[in-house]
Amino acid sequence: GAVVSQHPSWVICKSGTSVKIECRSLDFQATTMFWYRQFPKQSLMLMATSNEGSKATYEQGVEKDKFLINHASLTLSTLTVTSAHPEDSSFYICSAMTRAYEQYFGPGTRLTVT
């Protein structure tokens, strides 16, 4: 149990376009999901906390108008990178929290902006 999926697993887009990444909890409901960004050879940095039915809480320095988060259901959160630029290229990872407050991570989405 406790499986989290992400889609797509990798995406290449042109500068200025928007990209949507989905995070799904497959066998449990998650009122809270988290979005992280990981640059090569670095650790995970929390971007935002996504709560079902309410606005996301963004970490300091993360632009909420650029990284749009929608937690529309108890099993789905989406991250949309708007007007992507090459510096947004990164590995984006989501996690979903179970009722026992354990976080399970998705496999990540590699975004490359050309």
Partner 1 sequence: TQLLEQSPQFLSIQEGENLTVYCNSSSVFSSLQWYRQEPGEGPVLLVTVVTGGEVKKLKRLTFQFGDARKDSSLHITAAQPGDTGLYLCAGEKAGNMLTFGGGTRLMVKP
Verify binding: residue 96, partner 1, rule CB under 8 A. Answer: no
44 binds partner 1 (CB under 8 A): yes
Strands 19-25 and 103-105: unpaired
C-alpha triplet 16, 88, 34: angle, nearest 5° = 120
| 99 counts as binding partner 1 under rule CB under 8 A | no
In terms of phi and psi (left: phi > 0; alpha: psi -120 to 50; beta: otherwise), the region of 99 is: alpha
**Count of chain residues binding partner 1 (CB under 8 A):** 24
Which residues contribute to the site for partner 1 (CB under 8 A)?
4, 6, 32, 34, 41-46, 49, 91, 93, 95, 97, 101-108, 110
